[in-house]
Structure 1
Amino acid sequence: MSLSFYEFQLVCLVALCLFFMLVERQLSPKRKEGVRLHDDLHAPAPALHKLSRQYLTVYAIVMGADWLQGPYVYSLYKEQYAFPERYVALLFVTGFMTAGLAAPMVGVWADQYGRRKLCMAFCVTYTLSCVLIQLPYFPVLIMGRFLGGFSTSILFSVFESWLISASNSLALPAADLSTIMGRASLVNGFVAAAAGVASNQLVASTGSFASPFVASGVLLLLAWVVIRGSWTENYGSGGGVAANPDILQLRRLGQALKIVRNEPALLVIGLTQTCFEGSMYLFVFNWVPALQEAARPGSILPLGYIFSAFMVSMMIGSLFYTSLVTLFSRGDAEHDDVGDAPLTLHAKLSSLVCAVSAVAFAVSVESKEEVVRFWAFCVFEACVGMYYPIQGMLRGALISNEHRATLSSLFRVPLNIFVVVSLLTGVSSARYTVLTASSLMLVLSSLMTAAFLVERIELSSASVSHASVSHPA
């Protein structure tokens, strides 16, 4: 395929994204009408806007810092520093292993000592990893990967926990929280596309693959300043008190494990996180060789355009999610059916997203056509755009505030184990096996969510409705 093909696909996706923006904007007045009719279902606008501004500003900065690093980590290790392939693999595995091992501790520390403090610590540790990666000395780079893995555990669990707890403190209902999470997914798509272009320009102007990491460190320091100046602290149960001699918080961790064992819904959420996010990380290692194999011999893929197309697809998914939730929330309000209806919708969407992702991977394995594989991967990226706000809402509703960060981090342990084992067994040499396995795991997650999570929530909703009818106020 020529370069013009991917340019045209990118234009089509941007047009589709603009269409969904228009749809979402058209639905907004209807939602405002719903607010006027049902004031008790929505938070006051100033509180919602303030929290959105506080969270999304920081989220955009930290995700921008993270995306700046992504495109050139491998090239820096392999091409500029000239490390052997096995050393590069060891560096990547070190990062994932550290993230998995650190995840439980990150969660309990956030609940005990404060989520804001852990988010500020993230800015410091991730900045240090950006400093260490400038030194082409293997032990120093290993230390940088340790810090990077620890920081990643914070990024993908504690920030969300802070948002959910802050929204609970303001008594924001599910509809408003889902709006913020949908906006966060959309912001992530914009930031990723911009970071890809920025990192490319930095490398072109400096001639060094290390320059994007310098820019990332600057953004992380800016995020520390913004968090310190605009966020308030929140804790789990027993948090914020005098220092606890149990620095590893083993008692709190044991309580969290007992909660997961006794609550099937949380096990399903953990399974979905492992299956979907594990497949997503492995997809990063597979999409380039999969497209290169399907391309014409001798052709050079415009990876920048393809990456931008994936990011636009992710934005389309987040906009589609926001439109769906806005539409269904208004319908529930009009029929005075507010119970667990938003939660039921999110459980069904979670099952659907896993199912569609499984089909997309299956199509990419079966088809040898470059166009088909490209669009299958775009569909998967759209599912990624829907997945994060959906899972964030489910975790926010089903995980209590006492152990929110602990459990959110705990779910990342099997995820990182899955990714590490896959990397050690050779992802690139068995990519179709990996994609097939990912598809099967996503099917399992979809079925488990439909069978246990959706059914549980619907039964809970039905019992609440029956009680309200039997015992009217």
Structure 2
Amino acid sequence: MLWCDPSSPLSLSLSQHSLSPLLVAAMEEEVWDGPRWLYVFQIFACMSVLCSRVWIKGKSPFLDRVPALGRFTAQFAAFHCLFLCVFLLASLADGLLQVHWQALYQSYGLSTAEMMTLLAVGHGSSLFLGTFLGISSDSLGRKRASILYCILQALGCLAKLSSNYEVLSVGHVCLGLASSLYFSVFEAWMTTEHEKVGFKQELLSETFWMMAFASGIVGISSGAIANVLMEQQALSARAPSVVAGFVTFLCLLTIIFGWNENVGTLYGGLSKPLLNGIQALRDKRIALLGLTQAGFDLSIAVFWLLWTPTLVADGREVQTGLIYACLMGSMMLGSSIAASFLCGPYNVIPEIYVPYVLFVAGASLILPAYDYQDIPVLVTCFSVFHICVGIAWPSLARLRSIYIQNDRRATMLSLFRAPVSAILLLILIRGVSSTKFENSTVFSIAILGLMSGAACIRQIAQLRPASSYDNLNWRHRSDV
């Protein structure tokens, strides 16, 4: 997911920045929570961007070539809402599990090393088992795989109610497998069903940017719900996990009764989808897109590991909950901007602007990586990063819909995700050992991933036929 616990034990175990004693003493006198007008500004900015979309498109001579919300058919609107309902329920359940999980494990008496080991177990299962589970979903069926996701997620929720370390370990295995399915099967089901029903391919962009925008809302909501539950004296730290299990059950029911089954690769079990995926990687454009996606996902994961220790280095106090809401608002603003690029009125081909977005995202992490201590500047850098995330997320999804065939969609997404799990597993293992990575080293890995991604997208743009840029109604991979 795009969010995690603001006080991750991995974050707190990584090497801290250093400050002078005078600066520490000065910062301890006041808790920094950011200007209140910033949150109002973000809401106003999102509304302005979205409203300007409608106004400008109404005056655009290209209106007949640009999909607009007002031109959605009832059938597409129903499909759109059904998918987003499932996606947001799954995201909310995951978000509830991520918030305050450290407090839950501390109430069980677990040490930081034990918590980090559980995280490593989850990422290890995602890498070594979840990758192949995601690949097999193309032949198993995306609806069946989504149901399996809900079952694994529910088992993970139940396991968190136990203080037994072995049970928690099994729970993290289930959650690691569920995470692999989350990042592959939902998009694979949606894009395949979208094509099977016969909706226009350019309408996919409307779904992609709404996924990013709504994820910001879910991120804020999951934190707020978890905080309310934790403040109730009659409830324990287990309450968010219980609610997450209930939300997962609602997600399961919606999938069972609302979704149709679609299958990518018929027959072949695991071997046929895997061979299809390896064959697809021979296309240089898909391989470059995979490297970009891996670098982008890794930068997000690294950010959530390090943002809190960067802000609270050497005893500084900040309102992480309020700053977290600010970051989610920034992502929503970015997704609103992406809507203007992808769906009108500007209609910019993703290969043109995504390299600049990824470059700015990488540049925004340079100051945090090299020990800059001014909190307002750090929050500004983090906000810029999340605006870029909001733009890049739906834009990369649109590129995947152009270059990757639907019969191997879950396979390719699983292969793209595997390097991210491997690097995170390495960081976690090093975090438990005595040879921890420096914060600057981990941030540098994220920056390198983003800069490399920018170069990869530029290369994809050079490989794409020039004539395809003349067509605003982007086409399927078979046409490019």
User: Which interval holds the TM-score relative to the shorter structure?
Assistant: 0.7 to 0.9
Structure 1 residue 298: Cα displacement? 5.2
**C-alpha distance in 2 between matches for 1:363 and 1:380:** 12
Asked whether the 8 Å contact 2:138–2:410 carries over to 1, the reply is yes
Q: Show the counterpart of 1:324.
A: 341
Q: Show the counterpart of 1:184.
A: 211
Deviations 1:129-177 (A, max 9, x none): 1001111111111100010000001111110111111221233334321
Structure 1 position 138 matched with structure 2 position 155: no
The one-letter amino acid of 1:453's match is I
**C-alpha distance in 1 between matches for 2:86 and 2:213:** 14
Structure 1 residue 208: Cα displacement? 2.5
Structure 1 position 264 matched with structure 2 position 284: yes
Structure 1 position 457 matched with structure 2 position 464: yes
**C-alpha distance in 2 between matches for 1:446 and 1:40:** 27
Q: Which of 248, 257, 262 is the equivalent residue of 1:234? A: 262
Deviations 1:70-106 (A, max 9, x none): 12222322x1111222221110011111112234323
Structure 1 position 12 matched with structure 2 position 38: yes
Query: Against the structure 1 CA distance between its residues 234 and 371, is the aligned structure 2 distance closer, same or farther, given a 3 Å change threshold?
Result: same
Deviating more after overlay: 207-216 vs 96-105: 96-105
**C-alpha distance in 1 between matches for 2:63 and 2:236:** 57
**C-alpha distance in 1 between matches for 2:197 and 2:44:** 32
Structure 1 residue 440: Cα displacement? 2.2
**C-alpha distance in 1 between matches for 2:307 and 2:259:** 38
Q: Which of 22, 30, 47 is the equivalent residue of 1:21? A: 47
Deviations 1:208-240 (A, max 9, x none): 2221010000000001111122211211132xx
Asked whether the 8 Å contact 1:111–1:404 carries over to 2, the reply is yes
Query: Against the structure 1 CA distance between its residues 407 and 35, is the aligned structure 2 distance closer, same or farther, given a 3 Å change threshold?
Result: farther
Structure 1 position 302 matched with structure 2 position 319: yes
Asked whether the 8 Å contact 1:309–1:378 carries over to 2, the reply is yes
**C-alpha distance in 2 between matches for 1:353 and 1:81:** 43
Q: Show the counterpart of 1:446.
A: 454
Asked whether the 8 Å contact 2:365–2:381 carries over to 1, the reply is yes
Asked whether the 8 Å contact 1:311–1:381 carries over to 2, the reply is yes
- Indicate the SS of the match to 2:109: coil
- Indicate the SS of the match to 1:235: coil
**C-alpha distance in 2 between matches for 1:463 and 1:55:** 31
Q: Show the counterpart of 2:273.
A: 252
Q: Show the counterpart of 1:38.
A: 64
Deviating more after overlay: 152-161 vs 27-36: 27-36
Asked whether the 8 Å contact 1:349–1:390 carries over to 2, the reply is no
Q: Which of 174, 186, 205 is the equivalent residue of 1:159? A: 186
Asked whether the 8 Å contact 1:13–1:313 carries over to 2, the reply is no
Structure 1 position 70 matched with structure 2 position 91: no
Normalising by structure 1, we get a TM-score of 0.86
Structure 1 residue 30: Cα displacement? 4.5
Gaps of 5+ in 1: 239-243, 333-341, 466-473
Query: Against the structure 1 CA distance between its residues 299 and 219, is the aligned structure 2 distance closer, same or farther, given a 3 Å change threshold?
Result: same
Asked whether the 8 Å contact 1:54–1:230 carries over to 2, the reply is yes
Structure 1 position 172 matched with structure 2 position 199: yes
Asked whether the 8 Å contact 1:135–1:141 carries over to 2, the reply is yes
Query: Against the structure 1 CA distance between its residues 207 and 431, is the aligned structure 2 distance closer, same or farther, given a 3 Å change threshold?
Result: farther
Q: Show the counterpart of 1:291.
A: 311
Structure 1 residue 348: Cα displacement? 2.8
Structure 1 residue 5: Cα displacement? 5.2
Structure 1 residue 299: Cα displacement? 4.4
The one-letter amino acid of 1:221's match is F
The one-letter amino acid of 1:373's match is L
- Indicate the SS of the match to 2:254: helix
**C-alpha distance in 1 between matches for 2:62 and 2:279:** 43
Structure 1 position 369 matched with structure 2 position 347: no
- Indicate the SS of the match to 1:318: helix
Query: Against the structure 1 CA distance between its residues 60 and 252, is the aligned structure 2 distance closer, same or farther, given a 3 Å change threshold?
Result: closer
Q: Show the counterpart of 2:477.
A: none
Deviating more after overlay: 54-63 vs 44-53: 44-53
Query: Against the structure 1 CA distance between its residues 399 and 460, is the aligned structure 2 distance closer, same or farther, given a 3 Å change threshold?
Result: farther
Asked whether the 8 Å contact 1:14–1:312 carries over to 2, the reply is no
**C-alpha distance in 2 between matches for 1:174 and 1:252:** 24
Q: Show the counterpart of 1:112.
A: 139
**C-alpha distance in 2 between matches for 1:148 and 1:319:** 31
**C-alpha distance in 1 between matches for 2:298 and 2:227:** 27
Give aligned pairs, total.
438
**C-alpha distance in 1 between matches for 2:120 and 2:188:** 26
Asked whether the 8 Å contact 1:350–1:387 carries over to 2, the reply is yes
Structure 1 residue 461: Cα displacement? 1.9
- Indicate the SS of the match to 1:411: helix
Asked whether the 8 Å contact 1:60–1:187 carries over to 2, the reply is yes
Q: Show the counterpart of 2:398.
A: 393
Structure 1 residue 120: Cα displacement? 1.5
**C-alpha distance in 2 between matches for 1:371 and 1:224:** 42
**C-alpha distance in 2 between matches for 1:161 and 1:61:** 17
Query: Against the structure 1 CA distance between its residues 81 and 256, is the aligned structure 2 distance closer, same or farther, given a 3 Å change threshold?
Result: same
Query: Against the structure 1 CA distance between its residues 252 and 355, is the aligned structure 2 distance closer, same or farther, given a 3 Å change threshold?
Result: same
Structure 1 residue 3: Cα displacement? 7.0
Q: Which of 195, 203, 216 is the equivalent residue of 2:244? A: 216
Structure 1 residue 363: Cα displacement? 2.2
Aligned residues with identical type, % of pairs: 23
Structure 1 position 415 matched with structure 2 position 420: yes
**C-alpha distance in 1 between matches for 2:177 and 2:290:** 20
Structure 1 residue 40: Cα displacement? 9.3
- Indicate the SS of the match to 1:426: helix
Query: Against the structure 1 CA distance between its residues 39 and 354, is the aligned structure 2 distance closer, same or farther, given a 3 Å change threshold?
Result: closer
Structure 1 residue 13: Cα displacement? 3.6
Q: Show the counterpart of 1:315.
A: 332
- Indicate the SS of the match to 2:161: coil
Normalising by structure 2, we get a TM-score of 0.85
Q: Which of 177, 192, 201 is the equivalent residue of 1:150? A: 177
Structure 1 residue 35: Cα displacement? 10
Asked whether the 8 Å contact 1:190–1:311 carries over to 2, the reply is yes
Structure 1 residue 195: Cα displacement? 0.8
Q: Which of 355, 358, 366 is the equivalent residue of 1:354? A: 358
**C-alpha distance in 2 between matches for 1:72 and 1:395:** 34
Gaps of 5+ in 2: 1-26, 473-480
Structure 1 residue 16: Cα displacement? 2.8
Asked whether the 8 Å contact 1:316–1:385 carries over to 2, the reply is yes
